[in-house]
Structure formats: structure tokens, C-alpha cells
Amino acid sequence: MLAAFLAVVRRDLLLARRQGGASLLVIAFFVMVIMLFPLGIGPEPEMLSRIASGVIWVAALLSVLLSLDRLFQADLEDGSLDHLALLPVPLPVIVAAKIAAHWLTTGLPLILATPVLALLMQLPFEGFATLVAAMALGTPTLSLIGAIGAALTVGVRRGGVLLTLIVTPLYIPVLIFGVGAVEAALQDFDPAANLFFLAAILLGAIVMAPMAAAWALRLALD
């Protein structure tokens, strides 16, 4: 089962690389959304440092949201999803592997880009480590929850808009605790409570999301 999991992860990573720079597009989108804020609100450093953590989180949320609709769609269209579903491995395991690959190609690059953007957004240095830690705990949850939405809307016309409508409300707890952790660190409080909440949501999502997404995918398959 582990072999199948790793094989699917490897396949999806390979596909992402051969199809050219999916991660790069996500990062470009992430940077551009963040860039709009200093242009829209004004470049005063005090203002930017106050909104930095929230802006970075919102931009990360949108970037993940944007990358979701291809998560299962390409595989459904070329029929490989049928083959994956026929494997003698439970479908939730396959789905978990695809989610892991999705996180490696979107969430992880976002985390790597975050310190640079935090610098550009004048985030005080005390918040850096917490922001990266919160992103490390939060972005896998975004991929996991997003996969449920992607699976529910995969066979649907104009599924993209519907996907956004369904997934965004479910992302909000991650946003709240993610920003909360950074705010706490900036005000010299212990950010641990917020990080624990993020970790708890992540664990819950790991248990629930692959099963729910697999269930939803079966709909698209019959």
C-alpha cells in the first residue's frame, strides 16, 4: 500500500514537472496578489507590517484555491482515474497520495517563498518563524480540504466557481488560527495555542478528507 502511495506521488510530481512549472505559476500568482496590496493600500511600512500576516495568508489561500480544479480533472479526462480506482489499493490511499503531491507542488513552494514576501511586506522579524511554522501546519490542510471540493465538483460544468464557493468557507478556520499565531508572536504572546489548533485541524483533515474525497470521486467515476 505504501508502495502504491509513493508510486502515485512520484507519478504526479513527474507529471507536474513535465507539464512545466505548475509550482512556478502558483508562486507567481502568490507574489502578484501580495504585490497588489502595497499598490492598492499605499506603501507605508507601518501599515504594511500591520497587515502583512493577513495578506500573506489570504494570498496563500487564493493560490491553493486556484490550483485545485486540476487536481483530479486531468486524470478524469484521460481515463487514468478509472485505472487508479481499479488498483487493488483503497481509493482513499490513492487520493491521499494525490493530495500529498498537490501539497508538494503548491504548499511547499508557497512556504519557501513566504520569508522573502514577509520581508517585502515589512513583517517584523519576530513573526517570521511563527509564520513559516503556521504555514507548514496550515497549507497541508488547505490541500486536504480543497481535495474534497475538487472531488465534489470534478464532473460538473463550470465546477471552478462552485469549487471556490464550497471550499472557501471551510478554509476560514485555517486562516483565523494562521493569522492568530503570527499576531500572538508579534505581541510577545506564546503562539503555541494557535499552532496547536492548526495541528489539530490538520490531523482531523488527514483522517477525514481522503475518505470524503474518495467517496465523492466514485460519483464522478460511475
Partner 1 sequence: MHKLANPTRFLRLTSAILPFAAAVAVACIGAGLIWGLFFAPPDYQQGDTVRIMFIHVPAAMMAMGVYVGMAVSSAVALIWRHAVADMIAKASAPVGAAFCFLCLLTGSLWGKPMWGTWWVWDARLTSVLILFFIYIGYMALWQAFEEEAKAAVAAAILAIVGVVMIPIIKFSVEWWNTLHQGATLITVDGPRVDNSMLWPLLLMIVGFLAYYVVVLIYRVRGEIHGRRSRMMRMAQAARHQAMQPAE
Judge contact between 166 and 110, C-beta under 8 A: no
The least distance separating partner 1 from the CB of residue 88, rounded to whole angstroms, comes to 24
Q: Of 77, 89, 124, give the one whose Cα is nearest residue 9.
A: 89
Nearer to partner 1, 11 or 164 (CB): 164
Q: Report d(CA 11, CA 14) in Å as an integer.
A: 5
The 10 Å Cβ neighbour count of residue 46 is: 7
The least distance separating partner 1 from the CB of residue 176, rounded to whole angstroms, comes to 8
Nearer to partner 1, 112 or 200 (CB): 200
Q: Report d(CA 58, CA 41) in Å as an integer.
A: 15
Nearer to partner 1, 30 or 37 (CB): 37
The least distance separating partner 1 from the CB of residue 215, rounded to whole angstroms, comes to 6
What is the contact surface with partner 1 in residues (CB under 8 A)?
Answer: 145, 148, 152-153, 155-159, 162, 165-166, 168-170, 172-173, 176, 204, 208, 212, 215-216, 219
Nearer to partner 1, 113 or 152 (CB): 152
Q: Report d(CA 15, CA 197) in Å as an integer.
A: 34
Nearer to partner 1, 110 or 174 (CB): 174
Nearer to partner 1, 117 or 167 (CB): 167
The least distance separating partner 1 from the CB of residue 216, rounded to whole angstroms, comes to 5
The least distance separating partner 1 from the CB of residue 155, rounded to whole angstroms, comes to 8
The least distance separating partner 1 from the CB of residue 137, rounded to whole angstroms, comes to 17
Q: 37 is written with which cell numbers?
A: 496590496
Judge contact between 2 and 32, C-beta under 8 A: no
| Alpha-helical runs (H) found in the chain | 2-18, 22-41, 45-68, 70-77, 80-86, 91-102, 108-120, 128-152, 159-186, 192-221
